[in-house]
Structure 1
């Protein structure tokens, strides 16, 4: 296993503005091993450049493979925070611009597990981890967030406390109490002795894996049907935006600081040109991203032989038939999702220039999706 460690202390100044190219490093990779990928501004950084010392910017996506692990020393919203990215994990983060009344950093988990140690925050700073079904808010603490393939979530806190919310219910996870969100978005608290947290995490992961094995074939069948409906919508939205590539390219130049912001009339014209594709993208991107990452998680169960047998309905004979198709498109879809997130950022600059609000990153309603 290829293991590399950065021993020197890292202290960087975070400077985040609405101009994407002007963003300074929000963090730095201080340790990594195995397969680790980083996407930035809609494309993946060359693997040979993903190494210790790589500066991480707001909205970068970090992904680890089966043997992957990374540690990122963060400076958003303030220095002193560390994020440990476990194997088979994917996340990106967003941060409020410097000078905003409140500095908010949000980690959007797509799959896997994160361990975070958050430095002390001021009254105007906040730190959140968000999944499809829950939001975890912290003030300065050490905690773990595990997400299973069925999108269940476990929050464990060795030190401090984490406000964990799903729907209208809020639970305070702290030493002695863990928060668990099931695959129907129901949150509950469980009393666990602080010294048993790691054992309970392993136990919980085992339970979720057992449930996954039992229901793997049905789950793959259900999510493959969803994917067949969502992928064409995602492709259609991206095709619509590509038809306005000249507008997008112009705004990419603006956010890179190469071109001045145009007059209001031109901004409104450009917003109208991009709105049809962007509205569809905002609607489909969260659910498509969720389904894609769920199918990645289910692929492990399939590879272990827990999804044998014919499908009862749908476009595929069985799981092997589906994953033969899915695997062939996987890298192209990953690139498309990275590009889609980047276009959302570019549009947010246009929208802000027009006096509109930032596009929201509404998580999909998992209550409307099938359970495992």
Structure 2
């Protein structure tokens, strides 16, 4: 009887697991936090946490066509993902450290949100990157489209009105600590190139 209950519990957990994405490419040290190495073709569910080492990189393709690259020395958790044809897309991630690049498929309604220790970003369809440094500060850069960025911590009364910081083609970058994000600014070509070299291709 106990074995039957355990079996049913496992089947139930499997039934509720929501597949989010597939591993399209992987190089170097890239694994789940449970230590299992990632391989091309792996299907990843909501709740999965990924980690890359010094030379690691992994490219994921989500069921709606969106692409996410996890660069070296990074850790990302897939907190929520749903992209049923009849419902608005919902995607939520936690970038604990490191760098990700994303090309998000446009969606009518729904959300695509990335949290870090110091910022929250929201977008519906665009290409952009987010980096969490050793000091836990967050840098966000937009390549195409628009992204809204807010600090993750409590905001000082009186400056709340300036959030979210909206990034677009010309004023394409910001930097956040836990209490504030600086106004949108134009990133230098050298700074953008450094990020793109770590990420590689989103294609």
Q: TM-score range by the shorter chain?
A: 0.7 to 0.9
Give, in angstroms, the shift of residue 185 of structure 1.
Answer: 2.8
- Taking the aligned partners of 2:149 and 2:54, their CA distance within structure 1 comes to 28
For structure 2, which runs of at least 5 residues remain unmatched after alignment? 1-11, 197-203
What's the counterpart of residue 22 of structure 2? 28
Q: C-alpha deviations, 1:227-265, integer Å up to 9, x for none?
A: xxxxxxxxxxxxxxxxxxxxxxxxxxxxxxxxxxxxxxx
* Conserved? CA contact 1:158–1:194, under 8 Å: no
What's the counterpart of residue 201 of structure 2? none
What's the counterpart of residue 175 of structure 2? 180
Match status 1:170 vs 2:164: yes
- Taking the aligned partners of 1:65 and 1:193, their CA distance within structure 2 comes to 27
What's the counterpart of residue 3 of structure 2? none
Give, in angstroms, the shift of residue 157 of structure 1.
Answer: 0.4
- Taking the aligned partners of 1:200 and 1:185, their CA distance within structure 2 comes to 26
- Taking the aligned partners of 1:69 and 1:200, their CA distance within structure 2 comes to 15
Distance 1:135-1:45 versus aligned 2 partners, 3 A rule? same
Residue 108 (structure 2) aligned to one of 122, 128, 134 = 122
* Conserved? CA contact 1:175–1:194, under 8 Å: no
Bigger Cα Rg: 1
Residue 120 (structure 2) aligned to one of 128, 135, 151 = 135
What's the counterpart of residue 185 of structure 2? 191
1:170-249 pair list within 5 angstroms? 170-177=164-171, 178-182=173-177, 184-192=178-186, 195=189, 198-199=192-193
- Taking the aligned partners of 1:34 and 1:133, their CA distance within structure 2 comes to 28
The structure carrying a bigger strand percent of its residues is 2
Distance 1:31-1:119 versus aligned 2 partners, 3 A rule? same
Distance 1:97-1:74 versus aligned 2 partners, 3 A rule? closer
Distance 1:172-1:200 versus aligned 2 partners, 3 A rule? farther
Residue 82 (structure 1) aligned to one of 40, 63, 67 = 67
- Taking the aligned partners of 2:82 and 2:195, their CA distance within structure 1 comes to 35
- Taking the aligned partners of 2:129 and 2:115, their CA distance within structure 1 comes to 12
Give, in angstroms, the shift of residue 74 of structure 1.
Answer: 1.1
Provide TM-score, normalisation by structure 1. Answer: 0.43
Distance 1:150-1:104 versus aligned 2 partners, 3 A rule? same
Aligned length: 173
- Taking the aligned partners of 2:113 and 2:90, their CA distance within structure 1 comes to 8
Distance 1:196-1:174 versus aligned 2 partners, 3 A rule? farther
- Taking the aligned partners of 1:117 and 1:24, their CA distance within structure 2 comes to 21
Q: C-alpha deviations, 1:173-210, integer Å up to 9, x for none?
A: 1222211113x5321124216855514759xxxxxxxx
Residue 95 (structure 1) aligned to one of 71, 75, 80 = 80
Structure 1 vs Structure 2 CA RMSD: 2.4
- Taking the aligned partners of 2:131 and 2:83, their CA distance within structure 1 comes to 30
* Conserved? CA contact 2:82–2:91, under 8 Å: no
